Amino acid sequence: MTDSSNNKTSVDVNSVNSIADRIGSIAEDMSPFDNLAGLDPTPGTFDAANWLHAIVTDRRDAIVQHGRDLEKLFGDMQTHLRNVAQDYQNADTSNAAGVRKLNNQLAGDVNDMKSQVRSDAPGLFASSSASSSTNYDTGDNKDSGAATQTVTFDSNGSGSTVTQSDGKTQHVDGGEPA
């Protein structure tokens, strides 16, 4: 099955196996065909009876063969459906292991890159209390300019402080310049 955006395929392995078993059991009881194969009509020994015997025997044999063919077909379908379900299960298991391995490898690569950047540019990750500030007018009072706010962003990315013209301040954690 695929999801509504057609980007994920999933298979319910237990359901596929259950369907396989149901299909395989359709031709489980072949006794009617066995019983039919054992019947030999005896319409008589005259020409028309011999002709009838040949036709009935031919039809009987064709029905028995058809039953055997269906038995094989349903058995093969059961086997193939079970194989498909197993292949999907193995692919999921293999893919999950591959994704975990890739994630671990990528995490290691990222840590290696961070270490390299820290050694090549040690000031980049250093904590600093240096800050920059930007004054802007919110536009609430264009004539007097009284609605001015000062926004100070910490360069280490730890947050920002907003100071309004009336002296009220507010610190926002993790803020970054817009």
The pLDDT, as a whole number, for residue 135 is 46
Evaluate whether residue 91 is within a structural domain. Answer: yes
Instruction: Based on the fold, state whether residues 21 and 97 are members of the same structural domain.
Output: yes
The answer to the question of residue 7 being in a domain is: no
**2 within some domain:** no
Largest Cα separation within the chain, whole Å, is 126
pLDDT at 17 (0 to 100): 93
Q: Are residues 155 and 73 in the same domain?
A: no
In a domain, 154, yes or no: yes
Residues 143 and 79 in one domain: no
Do 64 and 143 belong together in one domain?
no
Q: What is the pLDDT of residue 120?
A: 75
Domain count, the chain: 2
In a domain, 110, yes or no: yes
Model confidence pLDDT, tens digit, residues 9-43: 778 899 999 999 999 999 889 999 999 998 999 99
| Residues of the chain where predicted confidence (pLDDT) is lower than 50 | 128-139, 141, 147, 153, 155-157, 174-178
Reduced 3-state DSSP string for the chain: CECCCCCCECCCHHHHHHHHHHHHHHCCCCHHHHHHHCCCCCCCCCHHHHHHHHHHHHHHHHHHHHHHHHHHHHHHHHHHHHHHHHHHHHHHHHHHHHHHHHHHHHHHHHHHHHHHHHHHCHHHCCCCCCEEEEEEECCCCCCCCCCEEEEEEECCCCEEEEEECCCCEEEEECCCCC
Can you tell me which residue has the tokens 């379908």? Answer: 77
Domain shared by 154 and 75, yes or no: no
Residue 3 within any structural domain of the chain: no
Q: Are residues 144 and 97 in the same domain?
A: no
Domain that holds residue 144: 131-173
Examine residue 178 and state whether it is found in any structural domain, yes or no.
Answer: no
Tell me, yes or no, whether 98 and 140 share the same domain. no
Here the tokens at position 61 are: 């044999």
Residue 58, Cβ neighbours under 10 Å: how many? 10
Question: Tell me, what's the pLDDT at 99?
Answer: 75
N-to-C CA span, the chain = 43
What pLDDT was estimated at residue 134?
A: 45
Same structural domain, 97 and 135: no
